Structure 1
Amino acid sequence: MRAAVYHGPGKVEIADVPEPDPGPDQVKIAVGANGICGTDLHEYYAGPIFITTEPHALTGQQMPLILGHEFSGTITELGAGVTGWSIGDRVAIEPLYRCGHCGPCRAGNYNVCQSIGFHGLMSDGGMAEYTVVPTDMLHALPDSVSLDLGALVEPMSVAYHAATLGEVREGDTAMVFGAGPIGIGLWFALRGKGLDDILVVEPSATRRAAIEALGARTLDPTSVDVPALVADETDGRGADAVYDAAGVAPAVATALACVGSRKPMVSVAIYEKPLTTPLLDLVMKEARIQGSLCYTSADYDAVIALMADGVYDPTGWVSRIAMDAVIDDGFEALHAGTKMKVLVDPSL
């Protein structure tokens, strides 16, 4: 079968590799679509970062590895002992390996497992014609949710988890900084939670146009005094929650200037450079910074249910490419900003 194999920075090979066989409590998946994640970009241009160069504690695998942790597909084979699933079932994959016995796992917070692993970063992943996963990663897709949408469940669950941590309610004012895929996912999630007053702050005209086409209200921070506008529109109260999906210092500073008293800034970005946090602003407002990592099964279920209700629309920001185009139309296009979200179709 064909697969995108990672050998190091700038070295991803479309190779012919053996098809995997499912072991006990595993299933074999014919991959329908696999999204290229921002993490994959970091690995391609500056890795290995998360990809393991020594055998991982939970998977035993190390690079070279098949990439891909945002994917959906159809079950084609059941391993020994598998019950509750059938050949032909359409599924989205929650690609987390967890130990089950560390403090966070025992508390039910397996998304911050101390030995956490990702299918496609710490094991061979879904940017291939077939992959094998344990059954605890499976989420059934309703007939109304396409495999393309199914491949978006993973990044949309990242955003949904962050949206939940902001503790917003109907009638609240929320702000999203960054209109990339996670920022778009935050907007969808907040809408799904009943919010109407959502401001998306994004300096890129291309990204603003993409999310505006979905119905979002945007602000260009290069031409608008964002904190002043928010203060005016909220009668000085500030936003009830702000979300940083940009990962750059100016966005963080502006977000903290907009957040209301005793309200959170939820950080769901990867920060490539150290930040200087204006702690006095937090002290004077009794505001807080809340980190957000990954998702749980509950987030997956919530996103899939919202997708079935038609909340998520991939129009205008999601592209599909063939496996052989992964480098030029995938990594390079995303890095250059000419595309926003790319799904790889292993059958093409």
Structure 2
Amino acid sequence: MRAARLHGTEDLRIDTVEDPSPLPGQVKIKNAYAGICGSDLHMFYAELPPADQFPPHPLTGAGLPQILGHEFSGTVVELGAGVTDIAVGDRVAVWPIYFCGECAACRGGRPNACVKIGFHGLNSHGGGMAEFTTVDASKVHVLPEQVDLRFGALVEPMAVAWHAVTRSAVASGGTALIAGAGPIGIGIWFALRARGITRVLVSEPSAERREVIAALGATTIDPVAGDLPAAVAELTGGDGVDVAFDAAGAGPAITSAIPLLTPGGRLVVAAIHERPIEFMPTSVVMAETEIVGTLGYLPEDFDAVIEAMSNGHYDATGWVTEIGLDDVTGALATLRSGRGAKFLVRGDS
């Protein structure tokens, strides 16, 4: 089969590799779509050691080269021994997390924060950017008839956003500010609306990304050229937003959001930052502001997103682009330049 394999820094090759076979307790999936994620960008552009010096993952033993694709969907084509609750022909999305089950996070019910966390398609034996892959049957979520395989590949990034909204604890009828209109920002907007939060402002400096999310129905503002505090005041009657989400991974997204929160409001950091930031904690103290981090998702977030998709709360119009395996490197460059939103790689390409 053909597979997009990362061999090193900015070295992604379309290789021909052997088809995988399911071990006991696993299923073999014919991949349909795999999304390109910010984590793929970090891996592709990171300063990686040579493949023969790359440290194996502590849980999976995987190193380089690595088949990419940890947000993906497909159809089950073969069952490993002992699998009884999944059927050949089931269309599925995959919860891709590997966790140790022993650390404090795992013992506390947070495998998404495991100290040894791994992901299928980032540090494992396979991934979604190939014709086939194998995963433990416990990781698959069967898609209902109303959710097609294209949406199935969006379950993973939308679950990141769903988990962030859960962490925000914002109630129906509340107000929210989203910094960043990439896929996670879009997903947060969908998740908020699915939960009855409709007074939402999206702050995004890219005109292209503002246009994409505005076409979905969002209210947007350019935080550079526009007056963000005035827009928040208009949205909230001067009270400040109940919750602000950093989906941008840029320092100003945090420092500009904190003073725009209502007293007792919550800032949810959902993005990975590459650089440290500075801010004055006094404003956090004076308003009893809460700052929380959010990472990945739990299996129940997958279930919640799939249900919301089946109820029509998501729309892929205008922000999802399909490409073939041979186009992955170009798509990574496009995303790194700040253009585009979500690229889905076809598994049969």
Q: TM-score, normalised by structure 2?
A: 0.96
The answer (yes or no) to whether the contact 2:180–2:246 under 8 Å persists in 1 is yes
2:207 to 205, 208, 211: 205
1:1-45 CA-to-partner distances (Å, cap 9, x unmatched) read 000010111100000000111111111110000000011011112
* CA deviation vs aligned residue, 1:283-303 (integer Å, no higher than 9, x gap): 111101100000001110010
| Cα distance between partner residues in 1 of 2:236 and 2:176 | 11
Give 2:284's aligned residue. 282
| AA of the residue aligned to 2:272 | I
In structure 1, what is the equivalent of residue 114 of structure 2? 113
Decide whether the 8 Å contact of 2:120 with 2:127 is kept in 1: yes
Deviation at 1:46, TM superposition (A): 2.1
Which has the larger displacement, 224-233 or 213-222? 224-233
Contact residue 199 and residue 235 of structure 2 kept, 8 A: no
Question: Which stretch has the larger CA shift, 8-17 or 115-124?
Answer: 115-124
Give 1:136's match in structure 2, choosing from 127, 135, 138: 138
Instruction: Classify 1:85/1:47 alpha carbon distance in 2 versus 1 (closer, same or farther; 3 Å).
Output: farther
Q: Percent identity?
A: 51
State the alpha-carbon separation in 2 of the partners of residues 48 and 104 from structure 1: 28
Secondary structure, counterpart of 2:315 in structure 1? coil
The equivalences for 1:110-259 within 5 A come to 110-123=111-124, 124-259=126-261
- Structure 2 CA distance for aligned equivalents of residues 276 and 248 of structure 1: 11
CA distance in 1, matches of 2:108, 2:251: 33
Aligned length: 346
Residues 100-143 of structure 1: CA deviation (Å, up to 9, x unaligned): 12221112111111211111111121110001101121101011
Matches within 5 A, 1:1-348: 1-48=1-48, 53-123=54-124, 124-328=126-330, 330-348=331-349
Q: Distance in 2 between matches of 1:47 and 1:310?
A: 41
Once residues 131 and 45 of structure 2 are traced to their aligned partners in structure 1, the CA distance between those partners, rounded to angstroms, is 24
1:213-235 CA distance string (max 9 Å, x none): 00000011122221233234423
2:129 partner letter: M
Note the C-alpha offset of 1:178. 0.3
Q: What is the Cα deviation at residue 333 of structure 1?
A: 2.1
Counterpart-to-counterpart distance in 1, 2:259 and 2:62: 44
* Contact persistence 2:128–2:347 (CA under 8 A): no
Deviations for 1:49-76, whole angstroms, at most 9, x for unmatched residues? 9x99222121111111111101000011
Moved over 3 A (4+): none
Deviation at 1:152, TM superposition (A): 0.5
Deviation at 1:170, TM superposition (A): 1.5
Distance of 2:39 and 2:276 partners within structure 1: 18
Supply the distance in 2 between the matched residues of 1:273 and 1:338 (Cα, whole angstroms): 21
Q: Using a 3 Å threshold, how does the CA distance of structure 1 residues 136 and 48 change in structure 2: closer, same or farther?
A: farther
CA RMSD of aligned residues (A): 1.5
SS in 2 for 1:344: strand
Counterparts of 1:53 and 1:150 in 2: how far apart (Å)?
32
Cα pair 2:201 2:232 within 8 Å, conserved: no
What SS class does the counterpart of residue 193 from structure 2 fall into? helix
Query: What is the CA–CA distance in structure 1 between the aligned matches of 2:291 and 2:202, rounded to whole Å?
Result: 19
* Cα distance in structure 2, aligned partners of 1:220 and 1:336: 18
The residue type equivalent to 2:14 in the other structure is I
Using the alignment, how far apart are the partners of 1:134 and 1:214 within structure 2? 36
Q: Distance in 2 between matches of 1:13 and 1:240?
A: 46
The answer (yes or no) to whether the contact 2:209–2:340 under 8 Å persists in 1 is no
Structure 2 SS opposite 1:293: coil
3-state DSSP class of the match of 1:261?
Answer: strand
Query: TM-score, length-normalised on structure 1?
Result: 0.96
Does the C-alpha gap of structure 1 residues 214 and 231 become closer, same or farther in structure 2, counting only changes over 3 Å?
same
Q: Which amino acid aligns with 1:222?
A: V
Given that 2:95 and 2:141 are in contact with CA atoms closer than 8 Å, whether structure 1 keeps it comes out as yes
Aligned residue for 1:152, secondary structure, equals helix
Consecutive unaligned residues of structure 1, counting only runs of 5 or more, are: none
